[in-house]
Amino acid sequence: MTEYVAPVKTLKGKLVPPPDKSISHRSALFAAISNEKSLIKNYSQAADPQSTLACLQQLGVVIDQQDNQVTIYGAGREGLTEPTAPLDCGNSGTTMRLLAGIVAGAGVECSMVGDASLSARTMKRIIAPITEMGGHISGRDGAYAPLNIRPHKGIRGMRYPLPIASAQLKSAVLLTGLFGEEPTEVVESVLSRDHTERLLDLKSEPYGTGKLIRSSRSDVIPAQTYTVPGDFSAAAFWLVAGSIHEGAEIELESTGMNPSRIAALEVLNQMGANIAVENPRSEGKEPVADLKITPAELKAIKLDPSLVPNCIDELPVLMVAMCFADGTSSISGAEELRHKETDRLSAMSEILKRAGASIEETEDGMLIHGNPGFTPKPATYPSRHDHRMAMAAAILATRSASRSQIEDAECTAISYPEFWAHLNQISR
Ligand code: S3P
């Protein structure tokens, strides 16, 4: 489906961001291997977290879903059953990588498949450590889905320094570790999102510049009611949209504010954005707040590469903000963007060039020569079926002089099914 985005005069209104994708996945996965019945409030209806629920059902987990409220009857670590068909992870890297940690740890015979995009993303990063721990997991050409998982003779603990700042990899190893008698110790020197250790109450301690996190069979999956906060990564589109439109006033309710997720807020603040953080509080084990965004004269920045892991999903829309900032901005240390749902450096480079922005794609980032008066050319923007590309292009197009088109716009349903309705609702 093609979505037409008309230029807007301004953006005004109050939105509730969709439930957090990362926390939805984790709450379902952890509830499934607990011995208790768990309630998840505000579970995401987006395609990716729904893939996780479907896979868990295939593994024999009883799940009752009433709109955003999900009840999961935990099967326990030993209670997952062999599925009769391949587990279909759809487009979801988090489903495939985290669930692989669980099924390989449990030794459930199964295979895991994904769509064309997921099948082209490397799984070698999880296959290597899980194999080293004694799990039996293999992939096409040693690196890609379909993955095949077979029973094993026992999971061994190990100390694992994370070779990439990836929360999916960290979580996959820690989840496999939950099936081993000896502890598995994951060492991360650059901190990635910490929802797994937070929700599972895993023991951790400072280690060098980062931390060491442990998991083993003796960790009890905590019985809890999960409350999923609003997704900061979805909110980021409005943080940028509100910053670049004269007269804008956008309020976002109950937005997740986990410190390991909100580097984009820091980046926008460094650029001079006007974003008020109000009413900070906790929802379950996660911090949330209400955000108020009004426009600002943005200035260019050199993005600190150490912030990249904590704004990895927000970098595409930050690139849009940089097009409207005064001066040349630079992003480096973001090579991981090439391994997302699509190569996001190449995809954003194509989108921004079609808009007429002055940019240079580099191996691990981008140089963006911004201009507060920039008016994107009306264009046809390819999303490459990547939800974050479609949404970043849409925010860009709202500053155009006439109508643009976003191709394959339905892909926003991967993380934010209400995106187009929300854009309409606040467009003036
Ligand atoms: C996620 C981690 C990030 C992120 C993805 C969700 C998670 O991926 O890009 O959208 O829920 O753990 P990496 O861990 O590969 O960086």
Give the number of residues written for the chain: 428
Domain ranges of the chain: 3-19+229-426, 21-156+171-179
User: What is the whole-number distance in angstroms between the Cα of residue 289 and the centre of ligand 1?
Assistant: 22
Residue 246 carries which DSSP code? T
Dist CA 3 CA 347 (whole Å): 18
Residue 231's CB: how many other CB atoms inside 10 A?
24
User: What is the whole-number distance in angstroms between the Cα of residue 41 and the centre of ligand 1?
Assistant: 22
User: What is the whole-number distance in angstroms between the Cα of residue 21 and the centre of ligand 1?
Assistant: 10
Pocket of ligand 1, candidates 44, 91, 94: which has the most ligand atoms within 8 Å of its Cβ, to mutate? 94
Which residue has its alpha carbon closest to ligand 1 atom 13? 166
pLDDT, averaged per 10 consecutive residues of the chain (428 residues), comes to: 98 98 98 98 98 98 97 98 98 99 98 98 98 98 98 98 98 99 97 98 96 98 96 99 98 98 98 98 96 98 97 99 99 98 98 98 98 98 98 98 98 98 98
Pocket of ligand 1, candidates 312, 339, 341: which has the most ligand atoms within 8 Å of its Cβ, to mutate? 312
Dist CA 187 CA 104 (whole Å): 21
Give this prediction's pTM.
0.98
Q: Give the angle subtended at the CA of 228 by the CAs of 222 and 232, to the nearest 5°.
A: 130
For residue 206, the model assigns a pLDDT of: 97
Ligand 1 binding pocket includes 102 (Cβ within 6 Å): no
Ligand 1 binding pocket includes 94 (Cβ within 6 Å): yes
Residue 111's CB: how many other CB atoms inside 10 A?
17
For residue 389, the model assigns a pLDDT of: 98
Dist CA 41 CA 225 (whole Å): 7
Q: How far apart are the first and last CA of the chain?
A: 24
User: What is the whole-number distance in angstroms between the Cα of residue 64 and the centre of ligand 1?
Assistant: 26
Nearest CA among 140, 164, 139 for reference residue 149 = 139
The answer to whether 50 and 415 are in contact (CB under 8 A) is no
Ligand 1 binding pocket includes 162 (Cβ within 6 Å): no
Ligand 1 binding pocket includes 262 (Cβ within 6 Å): no
Ligand 1 binding pocket includes 125 (Cβ within 6 Å): no
Dist CA 340 CA 14 (whole Å): 30
Q: Which atom of ligand 1 is nearest to the CA of 166?
A: 14
Q: DSSP assignment of 275-333, as one string?
A: EEEEEEEEETTEEEEEEEEE----B--B--GGGGGGSTTTHHHHHHHHHTSBEEEEE-S
User: What is the whole-number distance in angstroms between the Cα of residue 319 and the centre of ligand 1?
Assistant: 19
Ligand 1 binding pocket includes 344 (Cβ within 6 Å): no
Q: Which atom of ligand 1 is nearest to the CA of 171?
A: 12
Q: Which atom of ligand 1 is nearest to the CA of 309?
A: 16
For residue 62, the model assigns a pLDDT of: 98
Dihedral of the alpha carbons of 293, 295, 297, 301, in degrees to the nearest 10: 30
Told to judge if 313 belongs to the known catalytic residues of this protein, a careful annotator would answer yes
For residue 4, the model assigns a pLDDT of: 98
Superfamily of domain 3-19+229-426: Enolpyruvate transferase domain (3.65.10.10)
Backbone phi, psi, residue 198, to 5°: -65, -50
Enumerate residues 6+ apart whose C-beta is below 8 A from 293.
Answer: 238, 239, 241, 242, 243, 248, 249, 250, 251, 252, 273, 274, 275, 276
For residue 421, the model assigns a pLDDT of: 98
Enumerate residues 6+ apart whose C-beta is below 8 A from 250.
Answer: 11, 12, 13, 14, 15, 238, 241, 242, 292, 293, 426
Q: Which atom of ligand 1 is nearest to the CA of 312?
A: 9
Asked whether this chain's domains 3-19+229-426 and 21-156+171-179 adopt the same fold, the reply is yes
For residue 309, the model assigns a pLDDT of: 97
Dist CA 108 CA 101 (whole Å): 11
Q: In this structure, which topology does domain 21-156+171-179 adopt according to CATH?
A: UDP-n-acetylglucosamine1-carboxyvinyl-transferase; Chain (3.65.10)
Ligand 1 binding pocket includes 312 (Cβ within 6 Å): yes
CA distances from 294 to 2, 24, 225, 240 (A): 30, 29, 35, 10
For residue 231, the model assigns a pLDDT of: 98
Exactly one of 48, 290, 313, 386 is catalytic; name it: 313
Omega before 146 within 30 of 0, i.e. cis: yes
User: What is the whole-number distance in angstroms between the Cα of residue 49 and the centre of ligand 1?
Assistant: 13
For residue 227, the model assigns a pLDDT of: 98
Q: What angle, rounded to 10 degrees, do the helices at 315-323 and 344-354 form?
A: 30
User: What is the whole-number distance in angstroms between the Cα of residue 321 and the centre of ligand 1?
Assistant: 22
